[in-house]
Structure 1
Amino acid sequence: MKELKVSATQAASRFLSRRGYDILATSWKSKAGTADIVAKDGEALVFVKVRARSGAESGFPSERRDAAERTERELVALAYLAEYDVVDVPVRFDDIGMVAIAPDRAMIRHHINSMCEELSDRALPEAA
Structure 2
Amino acid sequence: MFDLALDALATRGRLIVIGFISGYQSPAGLSPVKAATLPAKLLKKSASVQGFFLNHYLSKHPAAMKHLLKLQASGDLVCEVDLGDLSPGGRFTGLDSVFRAVDYMYMGKNTGKIVVELPHSVNSKL
- Give the TM-score band, short-chain normalised: under 0.3
Q: With the length of structure 1 as denominator, give the TM-score of the two structures.
A: 0.24
Higher helix share: 2
More strand by share: 1
Decide which structure has the larger Cα Rg and report it: 2
